[in-house]
Amino acid sequence: MNGSVHKQVRTLFHQVDAIGTSRHHAKELAKASGGSDWHSTGKLMGIHSYQTSEKYLKTWREFGNYVRSEFRLKDMQRVSSLHVGSFLEAKMASGVRYSTFTTCASALQKLEVALNRTGVKFGNYAEGHCHFAATIAEARSEARGILERNVHTRAYESPQSLINGVTHPTFNLAASMQLESGARVGEISRIHHGQLDSANRTVEVKGKGGKVRHLQLSDSTFVRLEQAMEQRGGVFGFSTSPYRSALKEGAQRSSQPYSGSHGLRWNFAQNRMAQLTGQGMQHEQALVAVSKEMGHERGSITEHYLQGPGS
């Protein structure tokens, strides 16, 4: 799809524009066509409200501009769940209200519908090619724990105390990896032996938008990871939901508010910036370095992570 973000968004919107038609009738038709729950019914329906359309179009344009600047991606039909996840992560980091976040998430869920319909119409891909539901659901879960509180920073006051309170060895190791490397939880939830570089103590991961980077770990944490993988046939993995529950328990044991797994990325950003500037690096240079290590294209996103007592 060619053209400006505004033009592409308008083209996509035509596929879900149902303004002026009966929402109730559309809902009944969707149910008759196989919509068994709210999610599946919603996929079969369009946008019936002017107010909703304005909110969704605003988010679509913001998302389109984001993937252009962050990933150099001009064709919105090429976006994937990785791009959606990155955008929602940036929203989370900016500290928007949870209600605003959920509106953005809903808008991107409807964008999935528009992209699939447009792809079928122009023969670019089959129905169902775009699938953002799992990524959006995970982001909602993360955001619910950190955006409902009106706090200045999502960083933990004492991240090591939190980690010490995580008793499950796998989850304790995962938390240590996030704190030391700034990894996203999805990047370390499944690691194969081929991703390890024993000489440099790094783990190669593919992050948002397919970006490859190398997570730097301490010697002790890297050895723990190697040992864990040896016990599991060369694979380290865990489910994200029980991991977050373990972090929540660790936060309670260490008497500090729970900020999700993402809070450890905040701590990494603040610790790394302090380390680099303490070594004499200028702020802007350090910001570029930390942004690259965190998988951000723009320093303005990383700047959000530097807010709070650790900055």
Identify the residue with better confidence: 209 or 111.
Answer: 111
Per-residue pLDDT for 309 more than 50? Answer: no
Q: Quick: pLDDT tens for 167-179.
A: 999 999 999 999 9
Per-residue pLDDT for 51 more than 70? Answer: yes
* Average pLDDT value over all residues in the chain: 87
Where among 106, 121, 147 does a domain terminate?
Answer: 147
Where among 117, 147, 177 does a domain terminate?
Answer: 147
Asked whether residue 125 falls in the same domain as residue 167, the answer is no
Using 50, 70 and 90 to split pLDDT, how confident is the model at 164? very high
The arrangement of strands across the sheet holding 202-206 comes to: 196-197, 202-206, 212-216
Per-residue pLDDT for 39 more than 70? Answer: no
CA distance 36 to 38: 7
Residue 141 lies in a domain: yes
Q: Quick: pLDDT tens for 220-247.
A: 999 999 999 999 999 999 998 899 999 9
Query: Is 180:216 a contact under the CB 8 Å cutoff?
Result: yes
Q: How many domains does the chain have?
A: 2
Asked whether residue 213 falls in the same domain as residue 273, the answer is yes
Residue 154 lies in a domain: no
Asked whether residue 55 falls in the same domain as residue 96, the answer is yes
Domain that holds residue 289: 159-305
Q: Quick: pLDDT tens for 115-138.
A: 999 988 877 776 668 889 888 988
Q: Quick: pLDDT tens for 7-37.
A: 999 999 999 998 888 766 656 665 565 655 5
Give the long-range contacts of residues 58-65, CB within 8 A, separation 24 or more. 59/103, 59/104, 59/107, 59/108, 59/111, 60/9, 60/12, 60/13, 60/107, 60/111, 61/5, 61/6, 61/9, 63/87, 63/108, 63/111, 64/5, 64/8, 64/9, 65/5
Strand 235-237 vs strand 202-206: parallel, antiparallel, or unpaired? unpaired
Asked whether residue 137 falls in the same domain as residue 214, the answer is no
Per-residue pLDDT for 311 more than 50? Answer: no
pLDDT of amino acid 90 = 85
Residue 69 lies in a domain: yes
Where among 147, 178, 206 does a domain terminate?
Answer: 147
Asked whether residue 33 falls in the same domain as residue 171, the answer is no
